[in-house]
Amino acid sequence: MSDPQTQAPAGAESPAARALSKHLPILDWGSRYDRDTLVSDLMAAVIVTIMLIPQSLAYALLAGLPAEMGLYASILPLIAYAVFGTSRPLAVGPVAVVSLMTAAAIGNLGLSDPKEYAVAAIVLALMSGLILLAMGVLRLGFLANFLSHPVIAGFITASGLIIATSQLKHILGIDASGHNLFELTTSLVTHLPETNPVTLTIGAAAMAFLFWVRKGLKPVLVRLGLGGRMADLLAKAGPVAAVAATILVTKTFALDTVGVAIVGTVPQGLPPLTIPDFDLDLWTSLLGSAVLISVIGFVESISVAQTLAAKKRQRIAPDQELIGLGAANVAASVTGGYPVTGGFARSVVNFDAGAETPAAGAFTALGICLAAFALTPLLQDLPKATLAATIMVAVLSLIDLTVLRRTWGYSKTDFAAAAATIAVTLGLGVEAGVSAGVALSILLFLFKTSRPHIAEVGLVPNTHHFRNIRRHAVQTVPTVFTLRVDESLYFANARFLEDYIYDRAAHDPRLKHIILMCSAVNEIDSSALESLEAINHRLDLLGILFHLSEVKGPVMDRLLRTHFVESLTGKIYLSQYDAAVDLGPAILEQPAARKKSA
């Protein structure tokens, strides 16, 4: 098999062609498409299609939408991504977390008519697409970085818990609703007596089968003579087998007449062309949700894209990925779909099955298209319990509470962010959860930088190094006080530094010099500059000279544009050693003090 990445000598193309293929990646890989690549892509597409049929139906159900909208979201969006996306193995389409967020977003609107519900989902896809496109054009992909890993991990885990719980009602055949874990479980418990035993039997059997497929099918297939990789991929067809078997049973025994909820009539044929609704009120009320869905979808997609790209030394262009996902969502909105993104599980399968180019995604779209024609009449008798079982087995792999243990051991602030995200998501819902997580991460970061680590430093004997007097046996002289501040100086911590220096200066009448060692100061903003001016002025009143040392080049360039340097009572030294020897030569004769205790 060829590797298109290494076949592309960048210098061989004209700049215009390179710019074009940067924005239309299909021109790049499409021009080198050959028979080998086609075979690989087709193989992968067949396997992903088999996996996607039940998933697309199930996730539409999770989003509270008609099953066919899942199929529609799995056709044109995949082709749009194939044209604009940069990840080769990414499988775009409906995914669990975004489906849950879609349900939450539309649930907030308080609609009762299922038609309005579908209209809102289509608008949500369009808004999400436009937001992603705008972020791509404005190169705002970095905004996704403000979702820290602990927040993402906490959010995915909590979403998985909510999704799994929300599907229990389909397994039990009862009514239950709620957008957070508390509402859901209360509702489930209330309605538990109404459990439909036939539905429960189907749901439980499907779940048991799917769990067995995940672990137990592969050894059987290997014993039957299949290769390990082939056995792995065939096991992905488990959900389709469950779907087929339960359709057959339900149809044969007319189980819908004994209360087994079925999918019902699914329209046959190509996706309809839909014109999204342009109602301003609807757009306004969905805006916040659309932003969250876009950012979460992008983060989920880019994570899996980068992980898979790394395995083949390929590169992902994050801003172009925004364009690709934006185009996919716009495509979803004009063909009756709902918000899509790159899914983790299907992308891994696509990669393992040998997908070489985004064409595999386009072939998958053709496969779903065929299904929409040929299979929809059969889907009428599909029990919702089977789809629920598919979802539950899929999302259980999302739930990973070890993030709490890992962050607890490493960083309490990261733990707080992850725990808050999980707690708020479970308690108040997905949108509140991810917002709380992001807000808390940023606040904790600001809080930390607003109280920077400040160390009093002394000379390590026989070196030119200055280290914290609390950690090292160092030499100091009583007339010179040197402090190293381990943070850029900016508005949030400028006053903290002032207070620290004034406290020290007020308590030590022997002081003649204070040196601020700036080796970790990457910036001094206007507020901090005013604080330094105030410190300089006040120390002057106390008869203490104020010096700086080891100021970085870019910081010094800026300071030179101000009056601070001329008004400074002391000097600016290139190295801390020069400063210390110049201001207190006795330091070289001092015995090294024992470490001071805190």
Q: Which residues bind a copy of itself (CB under 8 A)?
A: 142, 145-151, 310-311, 313, 315, 318, 406-407, 409-411, 413-414, 441-442, 445-446, 448-453, 468, 471, 486-488, 490-496, 499, 502-503, 506, 519-520, 522-523, 525-527, 529-530, 534, 537-538, 541-542, 552-554, 558, 561-562
Whole-number Å distance between alpha carbons of 58 and 62: 6
3-state SS record for 58-80: HHHHHCCCCHHHHHHCCCHHHHH
Give least dist CB 466 to a copy of itself, A: 13
Give least dist CB 151 to a copy of itself, A: 8
Is 137 or 574 the residue whose CB approaches a copy of itself more closely?
574
Is 53 or 308 the residue whose CB approaches a copy of itself more closely?
308
The answer to whether residues 392 and 209 touch, using CB atoms and an 8 Å cutoff, is no
User: Nearest-5° angle of CA 180, CA 73, CA 248?
Assistant: 85
Give least dist CB 354 to a copy of itself, A: 19
Joined tokens for residue 559: 């300071």
Is 19 or 506 the residue whose CB approaches a copy of itself more closely?
506
SS3 label, residue 283:
helix
Whole-number Å distance between alpha carbons of 345 and 246: 24
Q: Cβ of 548: how many Cβ atoms within 10 Å?
A: 26
Give least dist CB 509 to a copy of itself, A: 11
Residue whose tokens read 């970790």: 520
Indicate the DSSP class of residue 275: -
3-state helix, strand, coil in the chain (%, to 5): 65, 5, 30
Is 208 or 446 the residue whose CB approaches a copy of itself more closely?
446
Joined tokens for residue 514: 């204070």
Give least dist CB 403 to a copy of itself, A: 9
Is 16 or 541 the residue whose CB approaches a copy of itself more closely?
541
Give least dist CB 537 to a copy of itself, A: 8
Is 4 or 276 the residue whose CB approaches a copy of itself more closely?
4
| H helices, E strands: number in the chain | 28, 8
Q: Exposed e or buried b for every residue in 184-218, given b needs 16+ CB within 10 A?
A: beebbeebeeeebebbbebbebbbebbeebbeebb
Distances (CA, A) of 495 to 449, 543, 597: 12, 21, 26
Is 253 or 447 the residue whose CB approaches a copy of itself more closely?
447
Is 138 or 208 the residue whose CB approaches a copy of itself more closely?
138
Give least dist CB 528 to a copy of itself, A: 9
Is 6 or 268 the residue whose CB approaches a copy of itself more closely?
6
Give least dist CB 420 to a copy of itself, A: 14
Whole-number Å distance between alpha carbons of 143 and 139: 9
| Phi, psi for residue 594 in degrees, rounded to 5 | -70, 155
Give least dist CB 96 to a copy of itself, A: 22
Closest by Cα among 379, 395, 116, 161 to 262: 379
